[in-house]
């Protein structure tokens, strides 16, 4: 299969303009974590709303306790055609540290075939690839072969807390035959990919309190328990000496991946030494019986994301800090449950906390892990569509990151979720100099259009 000629012609004609339009979308600093950007986040929602309305979608911007959900609907496909729900997020991560960007985060720039901007790959560029594919399809044919519900949210980067309740509440309206998401990456340049798993997440803040205030470390040190040392001790007990998580019961719910899935992972062309070189670490670590891809995609973790205590400025200050704090997150695999992990974490911390300090563990947000068997018409159609756009069959990959709503869609709507992303390794999501490959954006749009075409044919 190739991309149908009428669509290809239209894509070729519109490509430059569509890229320009994406630039406009990327210029809006829709940082969901920062309230000073609330107006920008609203503006990004309005941008998506307007874009869908313009091509004949019925659109509603739905208020939530947080940032709005934009819901576009096009239901004029021939009788019997399936209904597909497309999901993406218009919010982005904060751009800091600004000084590490080669060109400013919200001034999109193309260098060497890469479009640099915050949100270029995660996820505005990929969300817009869907909108653009729908536009081109409608321009070329005046109609779509499937009914479309497009749901764009503005809180993915802060945990999607309001989305499951929204889906629950609008269950009837969101009824569909499958969900399609592009918010992930391809295995390597030129190798289109379908995701079969995501890790889940349980994110904690641990606060340790000792004396009522900071103290002179000479006058008090040695008699008053030091909260920074206490925290270091607590954190150190979370791993054993091989790096396995040493929290009682942590692995109890882990269900091994099917041997065929592991065999598939082992067949992917992956150079562990090159991976080490790319991340710039002197050596890789942990669980030697697993390959790097198995570690990233099939094993749970417990990691420190941030640490704060005492004096960290220039030179020396002899102080015994009154408090210390750590951000700790666990990536989870099927069937670990974030709420159960929260209970285990709290029990563990209580058990290992030294006398002389008090500790609180707060669960900030979480999401369940996800795994799919990739069977059925949605995945068959995706394989053909990706092959048509990229000129080769897709591979099946896993993912170490999390998209909490994926499991919610599956559970609440009872339909399969297809994850076909167009990012690439090294794309700097959440980091300075985030980029999306211009080639992947343009092939991605075509793959999406081909997917709709394939689904209608079923
Ligand atoms: N697009 C990512 C998810 C992702 C990460 C896909 C890595 C493929 C590779 C998403 O926007 C994200 O960053 N998710 C967060 C979830 C969290 C905020 C609940 C993550 O994984 O940290
Ligand atoms: Zn993200």
Inform me whether the pLDDT recorded for 256 exceeds 60.
yes
Report pLDDT digits (tens) over 295-337: 999 999 999 999 999 999 999 999 999 999 999 999 999 999 9
Nearest residue (by CA) to ligand 1, atom 13, is 157
Percent helix, percent strand, percent coil in the chain, to nearest 5: 35, 20, 40
Mean pLDDT of the chain: 97
Output the ligand 1 site: residues, CB below 6 A: 122-123, 156-157, 159, 183-185, 201, 365, 367, 399, 401-404
Domain residue spans of the chain: 5-198+369-457, 200-251+300-367
Q: Which atom of ligand 1 is nearest to the CA of 430?
A: 13
The CATH-assigned architecture of domain 5-198+369-457 is 3-Layer(aba) Sandwich (3.40)
Record: fold of 200-251+300-367: Alpha-Beta Plaits (3.30.70)
Inform me whether the pLDDT recorded for 458 exceeds 60.
no
Q: What are phi and psi of 264, to 5 degrees?
A: -60, -45
Sequence-ordered strand ranges (E) for 64-146: 69-74, 83-89, 109-111, 114-116
User: What number is the average pLDDT over the span 18-40?
Assistant: 98
Tokens of 195: 């995701």
Question: Which candidate, 124, 159, 153, places its Cα nearest to that of 423?
Answer: 124
Inform me whether the pLDDT recorded for 254 exceeds 90.
yes
Ligand 2 centre distance from Cα of residue 457 (Å): 34
Question: Which candidate, 297, 301, 331, 299, places its Cα nearest to that of 399?
Answer: 297
User: What number is the average pLDDT over the span 202-208?
Assistant: 98
Q: What is the pLDDT of residue 457?
A: 64
Report pLDDT digits (tens) over 379-429: 999 999 999 999 999 999 999 999 999 999 999 999 999 999 999 999 999
Contacts of 108 (CB under 8 A, 6+ apart): 22, 23, 26, 27, 115, 116, 117, 120
Q: Which atom of ligand 1 is nearest to the CA of 89?
A: 11
Same CATH topology for 5-198+369-457 and 200-251+300-367?
A: no
Q: Which atom of ligand 1 is nearest to the CA of 195?
A: 8
């Amino acid at each position: 299969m190739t991309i149908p000629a009428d669509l290809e012609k239209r894509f070729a004609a519109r490509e430059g303009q569509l890229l320009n339009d994406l630039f406009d979308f990327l210029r809006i600093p829709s940082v969901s974590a920062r309230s000073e950007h609330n107006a920008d986040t609203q503006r990004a929602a309005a941008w998506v709303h307007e874009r869908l309305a313009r091509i004949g979608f019925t659109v509603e911007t739905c208020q939530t306790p947080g940032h709005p959900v934009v819901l576009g609907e096009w239901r004029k496909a021939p009788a019997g055609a399936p209904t597909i729900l497309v999901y993406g997020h218009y919010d982005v991560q904060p751009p800091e540290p600004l000084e590490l960007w080669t060109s400013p985060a919200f001034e999109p720039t193309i260098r060497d075939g890469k479009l640099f901007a915050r949100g270029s790959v995660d996820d505005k560029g990929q969300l817009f690839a869907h909108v653009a594919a729908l536009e081109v399809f409608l321009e070329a044919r005046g109609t779509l072969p499937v009914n479309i519900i497009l749901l764009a949210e503005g809180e993915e980067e802060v945990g999607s807390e309001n989305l499951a309740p929204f889906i629950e509440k609008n269950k009837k309206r969101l009824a569909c035959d499958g969900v399609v998401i592009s918010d992930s990456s391809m295995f390597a340049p030129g190798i289109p990919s379908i995701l079969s798993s995501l890790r889940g997440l349980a994110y904690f803040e641990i606060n340790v309190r000792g004396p009522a205030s900071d103290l002179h470390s000479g006058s008090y040190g040695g008699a008053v328990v030091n909260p920074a040392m206490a925290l270091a001790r607590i954190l150190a007990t979370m791993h054993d000496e091989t790096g396995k998580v040493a929290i009682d019961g942590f692995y109890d719910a882990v269900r091994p991946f099917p041997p065929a899935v592991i065999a598939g992972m082992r067949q992917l062309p992956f150079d562990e030494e090159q991976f080490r070189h790319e991340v710039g670490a002197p050596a890789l670590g942990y669980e030697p019986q697993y390959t790097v891809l198995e570690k990233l995609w099939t094993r749970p973790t417990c990691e420190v994301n941030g640490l704060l205590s005492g004096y960290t400025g220039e030179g020396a200050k002899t102080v015994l800090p009154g408090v210390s704090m750590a951000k700790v997150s666990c990536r989870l695999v099927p069937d670990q449950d974030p709420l159960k992990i929260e209970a285990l974490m709290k029990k563990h911390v209580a058990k290992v906390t030294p006398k002389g300090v008090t500790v609180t563990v707060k669960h900030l947000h979480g999401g369940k892990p996800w795994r799919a068997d990739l069977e059925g018409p949605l995945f068959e159609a995706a394989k053909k569509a990706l092959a048509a756009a990229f000129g080769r069959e897709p591979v099946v990959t896993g993912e170490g990151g999390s998209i909490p709503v994926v499991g919610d869609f599956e559970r609440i709507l009872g339909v399969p979720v297809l994850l076909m992303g167009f990012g690439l390794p090294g794309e700097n999501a959440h980091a300075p100099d985030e980029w999306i490959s211009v080639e992947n954006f343009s092939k991605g749009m075509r793959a999406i259009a081909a997917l709709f075409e394939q689904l209608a044919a079923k």
